[in-house]
């Protein structure tokens, strides 16, 4: 299987080099957009979002016992508990569809069931309190409310559907899970480990906190004004914890685990960002697919318009909160209310870079089903919402 995969990528690369008319103005412009989008992503997200996320994923793999993951996210965990924890955990992070990937990979490889893991995967970027508030303020309270309700229901429904469709695979996977000797032997208390994880999450949340709209509540603007002070304070506290509570070999193992996740995810993520930039470009910049084509297909509230909005949203990459000004422009160009909601529900939670990395964790079949579930549910929600508001 590995050799076929290598051959496939070699053949695809050769075909691209041989067949793509790189000298044409359209392709050259799209290629420039691809690298500009990768640069934009590197400047805005790698240090503030991905690096903390990789360290959290590494800590989950090393310091969180398999028994703890199985207790809250495992296939036999009570559904109310596992899906509630997955949804709440994701919503607290308020990260984009790419930053959530190391965290998702961490809990899934540690033994979490595919249902709670994919509920977490969806909820992280989709259930963002600040994004919901800003949506209501800029695009109208109806759309903001529909986004909030839809995202919560989608996180639960996506996880339940994935768990049902792959219940046999999960049963085999659960039967193959092993207990790691010595994993319950810890030099720290459970409370110390929990506080350590919490501080890392707070570093991620503070560093990734996006700039709110000038008209947003004073609370959000106040947090943004001191975000770097908060991040520095939490980082200092983390260093104190590492010095007092952890042994050198534990820290070394943690760093090695973090590096393993980085090697697994970063190359695929970079490839996905390049592909998204080549096809769709940065917001407001022309790439291979003209923006006018997208706008012309999003008018009205037909099932086709809603499906296209969901599909386009699932391929595009949205940094946290950037979907709102983009949608504001599309609505001004004639986009229907239903397709707007469909894009809001599918876009922030899924993207082409996101899909490529998920394939490496779940495989092609499960990734395809996950994306299809999100796109179909977003389409149906858009049609329903468009019918109600019209």
* Reported confidence tier of residue 375, pLDDT bands at 50, 70, 90: very high
- Of 15-29, 65-79, 199-213, 375-389, the poorest mean pLDDT is in 65-79
- Please classify residue 96 by burial: count the beta carbons closer than 10 Å to its beta carbon, then call 0-12 exposed, 13-18 middle and 19+ buried: buried
3-state secondary structure at position 249 = helix
Among 291, 321, 71, CA closest to 212: 321
- Of 118-132, 181-195, 364-378, the poorest mean pLDDT is in 181-195
B/e letters for 129-152, b = 16+ CB within 10 Å, e = fewer, are ebbbbbbbbbbeeebbebbbebbb
pLDDT tens digit sequence for 85-121: 777 666 665 556 666 777 788 778 777 788 888 888 8
Give the pLDDT score at 142: 86
Q: Report the C-alpha gap between 10 and 241 in whole angstroms.
A: 46
Q: Report the C-alpha gap between 274 and 293 in whole angstroms.
A: 21
Q: How far is CA 283 from CA 1, 56, 131, 326, in A?
A: 38, 30, 17, 7
Q: Report the C-alpha gap between 148 and 144 in whole angstroms.
A: 6
pTM: 0.65
């Amino acid at each position: 299987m590995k050799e076929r995969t290598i051959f496939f990528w070699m053949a695809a690369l050769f075909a691209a080099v041989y067949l793509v008319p790189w000298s044409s103005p359209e392709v050259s412009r799209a290629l420039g957009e691809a690298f500009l989008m990768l640069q934009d992503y590197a400047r805005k997200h790698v240090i503030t979002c991905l690096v903390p996320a990789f360290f959290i994923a590494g800590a989950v793999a090393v310091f969180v016992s398999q028994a703890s993951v199985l207790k809250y996210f495992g296939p036999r965990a009570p559904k109310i508990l596992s899906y509630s924890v997955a949804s709440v955990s994701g919503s607290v992070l308020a990260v984009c569809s790419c930053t959530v990937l190391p965290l998702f990979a961490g809990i899934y490889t540690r033994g979490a069931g595919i249902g709670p893991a994919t509920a977490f995967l969806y909820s992280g970027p989709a259930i963002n309190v600040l994004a919901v508030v800003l949506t209501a303020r800029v695009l109208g309270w109806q759309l903001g409310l529909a986004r909030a309700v839809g995202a919560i229901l989608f996180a639960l429904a996506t996880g339940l559907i994935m768990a049902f469709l792959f219940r046999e695979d999960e049963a085999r996977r659960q039967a193959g899970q092993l207990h790691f000797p010595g994993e319950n032997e810890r030099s720290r208390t459970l409370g110390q480990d929990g506080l350590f994880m919490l501080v890392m999450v707070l570093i991620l949340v503070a560093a990734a906190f996006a700039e709110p709209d000038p008209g947003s509540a004073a609370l959000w603007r106040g947090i943004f004004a001191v975000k770097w002070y908060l991040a520095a304070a939490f980082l200092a506290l983390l260093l104190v914890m590492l010095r007092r509570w952890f042994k050198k070999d534990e820290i070394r193992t943690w760093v090695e685990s973090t590096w393993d996740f980085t090697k697994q995810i970063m190359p695929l993520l970079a490839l996905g960002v390049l592909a998204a930039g080549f096809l769709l470009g940065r917001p407001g910049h022309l790439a291979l697919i003209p923006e006018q084509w997208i706008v012309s297909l999003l008018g009205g509230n037909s099932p086709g318009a809603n499906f296209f909005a969901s599909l386009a949203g699932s391929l595009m990459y949205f940094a946290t909160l950037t979907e709102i000004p983009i949608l504001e422009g599309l609505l001004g160009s004639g986009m229907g209310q239903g397709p707007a909601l469909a894009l809001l529900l599918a876009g922030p939670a899924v993207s082409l870079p996101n899909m490529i990395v998920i394939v490496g964790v779940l495989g092609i079949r499960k990734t395809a089903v996950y994306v299809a579930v999100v796109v179909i549910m977003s389409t149906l929600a858009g049609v329903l919402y468009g019918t109600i508001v019209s």
